[in-house]
């Protein structure tokens, strides 16, 4: 069976721009981590129940891949899709840590959408897949588009490619499972200070290299201070940036912290 890579991402910066209903609106630079990825493929099976094979710590119905299947089925009403999933399991060779701010679950979901669209010839455009992805999770559209670097805004649905040279990263992921809603809730209740549109536009224009070499990590990610407060066992790492709501830290590969 054909294999597909689901790449991780880091947030070069992540700033809150406001609120929309119960969500926070953001501006962020997502960059693909080409050295870290899950690998997905289909395997034949005999049990018609939806099955995901691999090392997961959640129930199938809570998995983003299952959610992707349900939303894709609702969008296409495809008998070909439902029949295919009765006869095939999704195998995931899981390398991206979970609850780590690296987008593993979202990337798996986006990759699954592409697998189904390609192999079953569903005929959906990338934009149509991204619309399906919006219903699965905020980070999914970025992974659907497959950009190496992009400015992401709104609640994740606005993805604009940013043309720049890809960077290589060192990543450290403490063994702490961080709840994204818990971090956002702490931010909303104790640290809420959205940036204005001019500040957002300035960051969106800056290259990722410039941001990583000129901006303090705690100022680059509004969720970093909230995560430190929400999870006292999470220790600040001098000179390392914080991805998403955590718990992963990253820095430029080969970077020597003075």
Which residues partner with 90 through β-bridges?
A: 42, 52
Instruction: Tell me: pLDDT of 255 over 70.
Output: no
Q: With pLDDT > 70 as the criterion, what percentage of the chain qualifies?
A: 98
In a domain, 258, yes or no: no
Element (H or E) spanning 186, and its range? helix 180-186
Same domain, 113 and 236: no
Taking a C-beta distance cutoff of 8 angstroms, is the pair 159, 142 a contact?
Answer: yes
The pTM assigned to this predicted structure is 0.95
At residue 256, the pLDDT reads 52
At residue 55, the pLDDT reads 85
At residue 165, the pLDDT reads 94
- Cα four-point dihedral sign 142, 171, 168, 28: positive
Whether 9 is catalytic: yes
Same domain, 97 and 206: no
At residue 61, the pLDDT reads 87
15, 67, 108, 139: the catalytic one is: 139
At residue 194, the pLDDT reads 96
Encoded tokens for 153? 């805004």
How sure is the predictor about 21, in pLDDT bands with cuts at 50, 70 and 90? confident
Given 106, 140, 161, which residue is the final one in a domain? Answer: 161
In a domain, 115, yes or no: yes
Taking a C-beta distance cutoff of 8 angstroms, is the pair 36, 74 a contact?
Answer: no
Instruction: Tell me: pLDDT of 258 over 50.
Output: no
Find the mean pLDDT for residues 176-199: 95
Stated length of the chain = 258
At residue 58, the pLDDT reads 75
Instruction: Tell me: pLDDT of 173 over 80.
Output: yes
Taking a C-beta distance cutoff of 8 angstroms, is the pair 200, 64 a contact?
Answer: no
Cα distances (Å, whole numbers) of residue 34 to 18, 69, 155: 31, 25, 24
Domain that holds residue 224: 169-252
Same domain, 148 and 82: yes
Taking a C-beta distance cutoff of 8 angstroms, is the pair 160, 205 a contact?
Answer: no
22-58 residue pLDDT tens: 889 999 999 999 999 999 999 999 999 999 999 877 7
Tally of domains in the chain: 2
At residue 79, the pLDDT reads 97
9, 38, 67, 108: the catalytic one is: 9
Same domain, 137 and 207: no
192-218 residue pLDDT tens: 999 999 999 999 999 999 999 999 999
């Amino acid at each position: 069976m054909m294999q597909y890579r689901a790449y991780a991402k880091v947030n070069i910066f992540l700033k809150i721009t406001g609120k929309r209903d119960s969500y926070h609106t953001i501006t962020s630079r997502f960059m693909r981590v080409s050295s870290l990825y899950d690998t997905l493929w289909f395997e034949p099976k005999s049990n018609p129940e939806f099955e995901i094979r691999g090392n997961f710590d959640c129930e199938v119905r809570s998995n983003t891949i299952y959610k992707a299947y349900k939303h894709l089925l609702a969008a296409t009403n495809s008998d070909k899709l439902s029949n295919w999933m009765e006869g095939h399991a999704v195998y995931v060779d899981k390398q991206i840590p979970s609850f780590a701010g690296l987008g593993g679950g979202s990337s798996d979901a986006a990759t699954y959408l592409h697998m189904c669209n390609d192999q079953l010839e569903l005929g959906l455009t990338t934009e149509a897949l991204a619309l399906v992805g919006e219903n699965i999770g905020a980070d999914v559209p970025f992974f659907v588009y497959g950009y190496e670097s992009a400015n992401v805004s709104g609640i994740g649905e606005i993805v604009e490619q940013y043309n720049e040279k890809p960077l290589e990263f060192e990543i450290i992921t403490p063994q702490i499972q961080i709840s994204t809603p818990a971090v956002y809730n702490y931010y909303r209740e104790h640290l809420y200070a959205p940036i204005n549109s001019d500040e957002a536009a300035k960051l969106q224009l800056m290259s990722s290299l410039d941001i990583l070499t000129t901006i303090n990590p705690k100022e680059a990610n509004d969720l970093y201070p909230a995560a430190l407060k929400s999870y006292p066992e999470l220790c600040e790492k001098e000179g390392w940036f914080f991805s998403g709501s955590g718990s992963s830290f990253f820095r430029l590969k080969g970077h020597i912290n003075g």
